[in-house]
Structure 1
Amino acid sequence: MKIMLVEDDKKIAWLVSEHLKKYGYTLVLPPDLKEVMTFFEKEIPDLVLMDVNLPFYDGFYWTKKIRQISKCPIIFLSARESSMDQVVALDYGADDYITKPFSYDLLLAKVKSHIRRVYGEYAIGNEERVYEKNGLRYYPERLEIHYGESVEFVTKKEGELVELLLVTYPEVVSREAILEKLWDTQDFVDDNTLSVNITRLRKKFQDVGLPDSILTIRGKGYKLVLGDLHD
């Protein structure tokens, strides 16, 4: 399991990381606290440990941003003890709140509990959705595309695009349909924004072993091409 720790105190970050690593967890820390979301979308962690007092933007801000694309557990680690801070954290989407200084055994127990709740035996609705065509599989809850033994993570927008291409396959998806699904509009989104998302998704398809799988159909839209692959 991968845990993202968002903490500006290097000593606390090191202590938390070393303790959790002993129990088999992988810890990742954003190197730039101005780019927490970029790092999150790259790493796609299973759980987030979030400090409140951070430079640039506080933990409430980043939690709200994460909740726009992910339901992964978020546990606050904060020296702020007021009940109002805890209420705000929960309102913004946090799952738990631990005040500093804290017991590392308590932190470990909380981490295990939330991972069991979301991914383990206590998870609600373990039957996750999967879209599959000719060996290509997309898991929307995990934001993962699979082909053979290869796996790539996608952003929420990229995932919505994958879903649309798979549901429509083998037909062409119009530009208008994509804009309606991804941005709820056909206006105010320039072609470059859509092209960037298509380019990124093509690269991820290529990385799982499906090069040239998204065709541009001039004047119409985009089409998923999976050749003569077999289920």
Structure 2
Amino acid sequence: MFKLLLIEDDRTLFNEVKERLTGWSYDVYGIQDFSKVIQEFTAVDPDLVIIDIQLPKFDGFHWCRNIRTHSNVPIIFLSSRDHPTDMVMSMQLGADDFIQKPFHFDVLVAKIQAILRRVYNYNTTANKLKTWYDAKIDFEKNTVTNEAGTVELTKNEIFILKLLIDRKNQIVSREELITSLWDDERFISDNTLTVNVNRLRKKLDEIGLGCYIETKVGQGYIAIEEDYPHD
């Protein structure tokens, strides 16, 4: 049974979501003290976190940032705020998805199932290690390492990188990436993919590899190798 941590201070909504997710055989936990979210997160050790933006003490962005310093656990934002910058901020902080309230419960379940299936089935089937431009990519630790150092990636970022490297020097369409990541592209925005790829490229820039993930306008993305002819 997967453990879900729902960081939501609206008790009515929390109880409703907990009851319905429990019906899907998820073990759902809440927060008792919103000044001790990290301590309670550590105690639960969840498989997935669902978090609101507007919370007592500190907002969801604060806690997402703190969780990311401890763990790569998948994170879904669930918020009534509808400004585009909120979605962009959540993705930049390492969230895996963003759902706006009010939401259809089937959409929430579909996103949870897709993320859990991708994250926890993925590592059992993928090769543990892969080499690209003399960098070692560890799919268990979600790291990329070369002589310049090591960068740690989120589940989405490592998955995107694997998809691109598995087909290096070939263009992978945006539609294919969206479908592979979230199983059903109706449940994800095109902008979310852009944010994830840009964040991946920015991290790879730290060790000199960002330039090898190229954008092909109107087509998709490509992971290049030395023998690939640049435009």
Structure 2 counterpart SS, 1:38? helix
Q: 2:163 is matched with which residue?
A: none
**Aligned-residue RMSD, C-alpha:** 1.9
Q: CA deviation at 1:69?
A: 1.2
TM-score w.r.t. the length of structure 2 is 0.53
Residue of structure 2 equivalent to 1:44 = 45
> Against the structure 1 CA distance between its residues 124 and 84, is the aligned structure 2 distance closer, same or farther, given a 3 Å change threshold?
farther
Provide the secondary structure at the position in 2 that maps to 1:68.
helix
Q: Which runs of 5+ in 1 are unaligned?
A: 130-139, 142-231
Letter in 2 for 1:24: S
Counterparts of 2:118 and 2:30, CA distance in 1: 23
1:130-209, aligned counterparts within 5 Å?
none
Q: CA 1:128–1:36 in structure 2 vs 1: closer, same or farther (change >3 Å)? A: farther
Q: Give the letter for the 1:14 counterpart.
A: N
**Cα gap change, 1:90 to 1:118, in 2 (>3 Å):** same
Q: Report if aligned partners of 1:50, 1:59 keep a CA contact under 8 Å in 2.
A: yes
| Bigger share in helix | 2
**Conserved? CA contact 1:6–1:50, under 8 Å:** yes
Task: Please say which structure displays the higher CA radius of gyration.
Answer: 1
* C-alpha spacing 1:127/1:29, structure 2 compared with 1 (3 Å): farther
Ranges of 4+ aligned residues in structure 1 off by more than 6 Å: none
Unaligned runs of 5+ in 2: 130-139, 142-231
Residue identity over aligned pairs, in percent, reads 40
CA distance in 2, matches of 1:27, 1:127: 31
Q: Would the aligned equivalents of 1:2 and 1:27 in 2 still touch at CA under 8 Å?
A: yes
The CA deviation at 1:126 is: 4.5
For residue 109 of structure 2, what is the amino acid of its counterpart?
Answer: L
Do 1:49 and 1:74's aligned partners in 2 also have CA atoms closer than 8 Å? yes
- 2:54 counterpart residue number: 53
Query: Which residue of structure 1 aligns with residue 81 of structure 2?
Result: 80
Relative to structure 1, the CA distance from residue 124 to residue 67 in structure 2 (aligned partners, 3 Å threshold; closer, same or farther) is: farther
Residue 26 to residue 127, structure 1, CA distance change in 2 (3 Å): farther
Whole-Å Cα distance in 2 between the matches of residues 98 and 88 of structure 1?
13
